[in-house]
């Protein structure tokens, strides 16, 4: 009974969040535009990307600049109003100290739920990365330094991970795969409230692992020295236990490959 109550509450949270940002009600007209921005990274060591409603796709490459494509969608009562508001939406890409920040600048009269900005970004793979969106998917690949990403409603996909990661979603699954070159001493914190977690670790993983779920199961194909029982949680050591891997979901299953 308790399990069904938890699932029902979590689904209700998900539906409320999606309804809040669906653009329903008085916003019948829509206007879309695309902006392309290229910014030299210079001596920056970290890239920060933020949008309220919209997805973030970031790919690391061997380049010296950050190339940004922003798909901007504005909903309003009329087509003309949507167009005027959209023309006032700008993408800000500003260096500050050792950080390059990418944000959305919007007119004060534009309500948040009527604006969506999807980012597609290629950036130097050496940069630390911090991505956040309220409603939207985060997709990251080939970034070789520390990665931090969060979304309230949406999934997170992270490929070719080499360094430490911290990924958080409220409603959404999280899928992570480490690169062949990733060190055995892996450090990862991955949490979601509603959603599954799949973690493909380095081939020679050496870490203390703590994985748990309230509604679901935890499975691993790795030889693990386990403390306690295996079922809804796995707490133990893989290899020499040099790194730390923490995986937690409230509703959903966890798989460690």
Q: What is the pLDDT of residues 19-45, one digit of tens each?
A: 544 544 567 899 999 999 999 998 899
Which helix (H) or strand (E) segment is 255 a member of?
strand 254-256
Phi, psi of 5 (to 5 degrees): -65, -45
Indicate whether 194 and 149 sit together in one domain: no
Mean pLDDT, the chain, whole residue set = 89
Q: Which of 114, 139, 154 is the last residue of a domain?
A: 154
What was the pLDDT predicted at 4?
Answer: 46
Count up the domains in the chain and report the number: 2
The whole-angstrom separation of Cα 242 and Cα 248 is 20
By residue range, what is the domain housing residue 217? 180-257
Indicate whether 184 and 243 sit together in one domain: yes
pLDDT of 208 > 80? The answer is yes
pLDDT band at 129; cut points 50, 70, 90? very high
Contact criterion met (CB below 8 Å) for 199 and 181? no
Indicate whether 145 and 218 sit together in one domain: no
DSSP at 203: T
pLDDT band at 108; cut points 50, 70, 90? confident
Indicate whether 208 and 244 sit together in one domain: yes
What was the pLDDT predicted at 14?
Answer: 52
Which residue in the block uniquely carries the two structure tokens 């079922």? Answer: 231
Q: Is residue 133 part of a domain?
A: yes
Task: Give the lowest-confidence range in 140-149, 203-212, 225-234.
Answer: 225-234
Read off the pTM.
0.90
Q: Is residue 240 part of a domain?
A: yes
Indicate whether 150 and 185 sit together in one domain: no
29: Cβ contacts below 8 Å, ≥ 6 apart = 75, 76, 77, 78, 79, 81, 82
What was the pLDDT predicted at 5?
Answer: 47
Residues in the chain: 257
Which residue in the block uniquely carries the two structure tokens 């870490």? Answer: 207
pLDDT of 231 > 80? The answer is no
Share of the chain above pLDDT 70, in %: 86
Indicate whether 120 and 209 sit together in one domain: no
């Amino acid at each position: 009974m308790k399990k069904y109550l938890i699932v029902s509450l979590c689904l209700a949270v998900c539906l409320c969040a999606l309804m809040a940002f669906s653009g329903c009600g008085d916003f019948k007209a829509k206007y879309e535009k695309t902006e392309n921005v290229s910014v030299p990274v210079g001596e920056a060591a970290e890239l920060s990307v933020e949008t309220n409603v919209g997805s973030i796709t970031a790919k690391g490459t061997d380049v010296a600049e950050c190339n940004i494509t922003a798909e901007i969608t504005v909903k309003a009562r009329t087509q003309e109003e949507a167009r005027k508001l959209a023309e006032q939406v700008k993408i800000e890409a500003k260096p500050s100290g050792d950080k390059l920040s990418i944000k959305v600048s919007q007119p004060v009269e534009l309500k948040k739920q009527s604006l969506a900005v999807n980012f597609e970004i290629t950036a130097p793979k050496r940069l630390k990365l911090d991505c956040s969106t309220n409603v939207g998917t985060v997709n990251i690949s080939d970034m070789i330094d520390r990665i931090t990403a969060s979304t309230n409603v949406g999934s997170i996909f992270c490929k070719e991970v080499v360094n430490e990661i911290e990924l958080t979603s409220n409603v959404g699954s999280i899928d992570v795969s480490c690169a062949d070159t990733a060190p055995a001493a892996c450090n990862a914190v991955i949490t979601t409230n509603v959603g599954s977690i799949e973690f493909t670790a380095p081939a020679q993983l050496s870490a203390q692992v703590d994985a748990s779920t309230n509604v679901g199961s935890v499975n691993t194909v790795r030889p693990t020295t386990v403390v306690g029982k295996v079922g809804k949680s796995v707490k133990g050591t893989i290899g020499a236990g040099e790194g730390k891997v923490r995986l937690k979901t409230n509703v959903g299953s966890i798989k460690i490959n």
